[in-house]
């Protein structure tokens, strides 16, 4: 017979662990349970379980706020107006809100939590954002690191968006990634093809979502998307147009240009400046050549900033910022549409401003 002493260490450690677990459970029960609370959104009232962020709670109620960073307080897309029931501004929000926004009680929905009855105001158009189930129909390489994905919408089966807007793609848990994340991608297809969503995605090294899309997502798989989001779309004016993009930033520009009528193109004479490093970073050249042939008013100008040996290039060279002036002789006549990395965009906005383009006529879609 084994002496009872033999079990004392194990028993005492187990009881220590158990009692601590009980303390945690009690704390959780008394501290974390907010019960059912009322969340008012504009003029609708929802009964929800308290304790989660406004962003997450609204998602449960099928209201989708834009969010590119997935709730990490970096993109600042999920701004809402807090009416009642929220405390002071949080340190995580402060860097992303302007003084004006703070004074109007604008908050980040991914940071503030629904803990008691509260009310927020969101732009009315966000109610029209839906969650879609879609099936991947085709995928092809555009360059060595950019892929073109075509999804067929299953339910709802049609999307109503303006060319230039974006959707949020949900990557489910896979491999060692245990959480599902949302990332924003601009739609690159025509807005009148309502049952199809096309995305151009550049592989981000170590990126959770792009790694999923490049290595795990296969034709026939079903995915979840929300949208449409964003205020990057064609403004209805008669001004001349300059579009500037780099890499997968071509997506919304392609959507915008391909949706314009022949008459509009002749009138607005768009020029599309596309910045790339080398020949191997260019894509869809034949499609743009066809588009040029069909619409004499349109020009597609790719520019290479770092040609590689054997590129055999006779087009524009240099950074895209060096090329702009040649095609925008007098900025006062122009409206600009930009999409690309923040660094490139900021540089382009500076150049356009110096060329006389009115800042209010520069529209851009920055990669988060």
For the bound state, the minimum distance from the C-beta of residue 190 to another protein, rounded and expressed in Å, comes to 43
Q: How far is CA 72 from the centre of its chain?
A: 14
Q: Which residue, chain included where needed, has tokens 């629904």? A: 114
For the bound state, the minimum distance from the C-beta of residue 23 to another protein, rounded and expressed in Å, comes to 6
Taking Cα atoms as reference points, which of 163, 152, 181, 343 lies closest to residue 251?
163
Closer CB to another protein, 2 or 32, in the complex: 32
For the bound state, the minimum distance from the C-beta of residue 108 to another protein, rounded and expressed in Å, comes to 10
Alpha-carbon distance of 296 to 299, in angstroms, equals 8
For the bound state, the minimum distance from the C-beta of residue 330 to another protein, rounded and expressed in Å, comes to 41
Closer CB to another protein, 107 or 269, in the complex: 107
For the bound state, the minimum distance from the C-beta of residue 13 to another protein, rounded and expressed in Å, comes to 6
Closer CB to another protein, 110 or 251, in the complex: 110
Give per-residue burial for 173-189: e unless 16+ CB within 10 Å, then b. eeeeeeeebbbbbbbbb
Beta strands (DSSP E) in the chain are: 36-41, 44-49, 79-84, 106-108, 118-121, 130-141, 146-155, 166-171, 181-186, 196-202, 222-229, 240-246, 271-276, 299-304, 316-317, 334-340, 362-366
Alpha-carbon distance of 237 to 274, in angstroms, equals 23
Closer CB to another protein, 12 or 60, in the complex: 12
Closer CB to another protein, 67 or 143, in the complex: 67
Alpha-carbon distance of 232 to 76, in angstroms, equals 16
Closer CB to another protein, 111 or 210, in the complex: 111
The residues of the shown chain that bind another protein, judged by CB under 8 A, are 8-9, 12-13, 16-17, 20-21, 23-24, 27-28, 31-32, 87-88, 90-93, 111-113
For the bound state, the minimum distance from the C-beta of residue 91 to another protein, rounded and expressed in Å, comes to 4
């Amino acid at each position: 017979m084994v002496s009872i002493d033999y079990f004392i260490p194990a028993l005492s450690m187990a009881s220590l662990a158990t009692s601590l677990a009980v303390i945690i459970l009690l704390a959780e029960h008394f501290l974390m349970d907010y019960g059912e609370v009322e969340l008012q959104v504009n003029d609708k009232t929802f009964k929800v379980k308290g304790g989660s962020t406004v962003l997450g709670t609204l998602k449960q109620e099928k209201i989708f706020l834009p969010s590119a960073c997935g709730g990490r307080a970096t993109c600042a897309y999920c701004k809402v107006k807090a009416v009642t029931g929220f405390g002071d501004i949080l340190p995580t929000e402060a860097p992303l809100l302007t003084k004006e926004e703070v004074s109007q009680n604008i908050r980040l929905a991914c940071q503030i939590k629904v803990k008691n009855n509260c009310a927020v105001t969101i732009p009315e158009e966000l109610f029209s954002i839906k969650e879609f189930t879609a099936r991947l129909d085709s995928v092809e390489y555009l360059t060595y690191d950019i892929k073109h994905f075509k999804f067929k919408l299953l339910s709802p089966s049609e999307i109503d968006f303006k060319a230039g807007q974006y959707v949020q793609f949900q990557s489910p848990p896979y491999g060692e990634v245990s959480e599902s994340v949302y990332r924003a991608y601009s739609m690159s297809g025509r807005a009148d093809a309502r049952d199809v969503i096309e995305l151009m995605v550049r592989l981000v090294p170590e990126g959770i979502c792009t790694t999923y899309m490049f290595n795990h997502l296969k034709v026939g798989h079903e995915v979840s998307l929300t949208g449409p989001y964003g205020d990057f779309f064609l403004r209805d004016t008669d001004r001349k147009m300059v579009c500037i993009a780099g890499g997968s930033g071509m997506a919304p520009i392609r959507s915008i240009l391909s949706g314009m009528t022949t008459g509009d193109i002749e009138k607005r004479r768009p020029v599309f400046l596309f910045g790339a490093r080398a020949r191997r970073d260019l894509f869809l050249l034949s499609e743009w050549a066809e588009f040029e042939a069909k619409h004499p008013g349109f020009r597609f100008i790719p520019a290479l900033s770092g040609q590689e040996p054997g590129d055999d290039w006779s087009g524009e060279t240099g950074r895209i910022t060096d090329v702009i002036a040649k095609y925008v002789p007098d900025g006062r006549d122009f409206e600009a549409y930009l999409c690309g990395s923040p660094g490139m965009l900021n540089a382009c906005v500076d150049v356009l401003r110096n060329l006389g383009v009115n800042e209010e006529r520069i529209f851009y879609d920055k990669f988060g």
